[in-house]
Amino acid sequence: MRENEQSLAEWPFAVELAAMPQVWAALLELHVSGRDGRCVGCCSQVRIAPHWPCTLYRAAAQARRIAAGRP
């Protein structure tokens, strides 16, 4: 396991999200890549959306792995 993967496995936000399947599922559904490679769910009128995968997508994906029992 790489160092970055280890830190994600212990990410407190993802650990908390793992107990809320409806929340992480909604985040995974909303935070997808647009045609320009930026997150559609992170749109804003005051700044450019981050490149995908965004932080919320990564947290939700990690929460899904934790909930499934595989960090």
Please report, as a single letter, which amino acid is at residue 8.
L
- What integer pLDDT is reported at residue 57 of this predicted model? 98
Q: Is 23 exposed, middle or buried (0-12, 13-18, 19+ CB in 10 A)?
A: middle
10 Å CB burial of residue 66 (0-12, 13-18, 19+) is buried
pLDDT range class, residue 10, cuts 50, 70, 90? confident
Compute the CA torsion angle 18, 23, 26, 30 (nearest 10 deg): -90
Confidence of residue 36 (pLDDT cuts 50, 70, 90): very high
Q: Is the pLDDT of residue 66 over 70?
A: yes
pLDDT score of 1: 44
Across 14-37, average pLDDT: 97
